[in-house]
């Protein structure tokens, strides 16, 4: 892999992936596209990629995957500056969040379905051979067969966000079959670690504990999540970029060891060395009681094996958090 487009590259997962690719591949060229969505601060995303802005192997295009002018600009940049060839597109750009999707489903349809189709069409026009799609464990919805396997039928999505990710996978299947693009959907399970979005649980809980403010615990704290450390996810993406044995694959990237939310908070308390104040609230629409990845396919095809347990991962996250001078 020498020439790659990464959409949403200034975000949590994208910036960590870019760091690793530029470090380990001296000949790689990366075009990052990001619209710096107001979902959280542009300054946070710019900090994520600041070190690369003067790197000749890195190019930033600020724009929206729904904007035809942005797509044309991206197309021209590839044609003019990257020897008229692109090896892969890693599509991370998305409207995120299960609960917000219940409140405003229309924007999720636009960004996550139409935006994905736009990028697949760009891949076709550029004769790009590989498309890596960041899907989500949310596609499994209310499936009660655990652990979740890639071949499970997706009949009960619990949110518009989940439905939009299923749609992205189906679009990829069509483009793979009709146009020969290798499409790999990576279903990600509750990713955490340095640069995690401020709205996500671990980041939010850490800040609230330090502030001495209450954590709103939805449900009874018995819900389980398969928390997966960012470095393991990055290794999974890099392995997918090097995988070439089939034209269409769906692969889980998880930790295969779900823990209860109340246990996660307890681990955070030990890492931070401060007790949390907890206020219980009813379950939220769109939430599921358990996420649990079967990762045997990832192990077989990608050599994927998570190396970070949750306790160690939380400590690394907190070490990063303390260095950010986040206003409490």
Model confidence pLDDT, tens digit, residues 316-327:
999 999 998 776
Classify residue 274 by its DSSP letter: S
- The yes-or-no verdict on residue 128 having pLDDT over 60 is yes
Work out the pLDDT band at 84, boundaries 50, 70, 90: low
Active site positions, annotated: 161
Q: In the chain, what are the domains?
A: 3-196+228-255+291-307 (3.40.50.720)
Give the mean pLDDT of 212-226: 91
Average pLDDT of every residue of the chain: 94
Residue 328 clears pLDDT 70, i.e. is over it: no
In this prediction, residue 268 has a pLDDT band, given cuts at 50, 70 and 90, of very high
Higher pLDDT: 235 or 245? It is 235
Give the other-Cβ count within 10 Å of 321's Cβ: 20
| pLDDT at 195 (0 to 100) | 97
Alpha carbon distance 175, 121 (integer Å): 8
Looking at residue 271, what is its pLDDT? Answer: 98
Do 86 and 128 touch, CB atoms closer than 8 A?
Answer: yes
- When pLDDT is cut at 50, 70 and 90, the band that residue 28 belongs to is very high
* Distance of alpha carbon 41 from alpha carbon 53, whole angstroms: 18
The predicted pLDDT at position 76 comes to: 79
pLDDT above 80 (res 79): no
- At 272 the pLDDT is 97
Residue 69, pLDDT score: 85
Instruction: Using pLDDT thresholds of 50, 70 and 90, give the confidence band for residue 155.
Output: confident
Instruction: Give the mean pLDDT of 302-306.
Output: 98
On the question of pLDDT at 29 being above 90, the answer is yes
277: left (phi over 0), alpha (psi -120 to 50) or beta: beta
How many angstroms separate the CA atoms of 13 and 119, rounded? Answer: 18
Q: From the CA atom positions of the chain, what is the Rg in Å? A: 19
């Amino acid at each position: 892999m020498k020439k790659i487009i990464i959409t949403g590259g200034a975000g949590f997962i994208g910036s960590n992936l870019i760091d690793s690719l530029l470090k380990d591949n001296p000949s790689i060229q990366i075009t990052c596209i990001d619209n710096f969505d107001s979902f959280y601060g542009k300054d946070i995303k710019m900090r994520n990629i600041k070190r690369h802005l003067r790197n000749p192997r890195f190019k930033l295009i600020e724009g929206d995957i729904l904007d035809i002018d942005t797509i044309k600009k991206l197309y021209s940049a590839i044609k003019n500056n990257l020897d008229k060839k692109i090896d892969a597109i890693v599509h991370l750009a998305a409207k995120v969040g299960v609960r917000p999707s219940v409140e405003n489903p229309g924007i999720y349809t636009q960004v996550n379905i139409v935006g994905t189709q736009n990028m697949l069409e760009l891949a076709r026009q550029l004769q790009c051979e590989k498309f890596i799609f960041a899907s989500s464990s949310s596609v499994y919805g209310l499936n009660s067969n655990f652990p979740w396997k890639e071949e499970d039928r997706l009949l009960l999505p619990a949110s518009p966000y989940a439905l939009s990710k299923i749609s992205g996978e189906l679009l990829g299947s069509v483009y793979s079959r009709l146009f020969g693009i290798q499409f790999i959907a990576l279903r990600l399970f509750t990713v955490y670690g340095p640069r995690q979005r401020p709205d996500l649980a671990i980041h939010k809980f850490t800040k609230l504990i330090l502030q001495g403010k209450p954590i709103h615990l939805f449900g009874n704290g018995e819900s389980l999540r398969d928390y997966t450390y960012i470095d393991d996810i990055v290794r999974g993406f890099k392995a997918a970029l090097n995988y070439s044995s089939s034209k269409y694959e769906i692969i889980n990237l998880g930790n295969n060891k779900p823990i209860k939310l109340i246990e996660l908070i307890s681990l955070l308390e030990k890492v931070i060395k401060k007790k949390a104040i907890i206020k219980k609230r009813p379950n939220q629409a769109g939430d599921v009681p358990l996420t649990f990845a079967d990762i045997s396919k990832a192990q077989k095809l990608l050599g994927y094996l998570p190396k970070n347990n949750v306790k160690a991962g939380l400590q690394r996250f907190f070490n990063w958090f303390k260095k950010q001078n986040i206003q409490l």
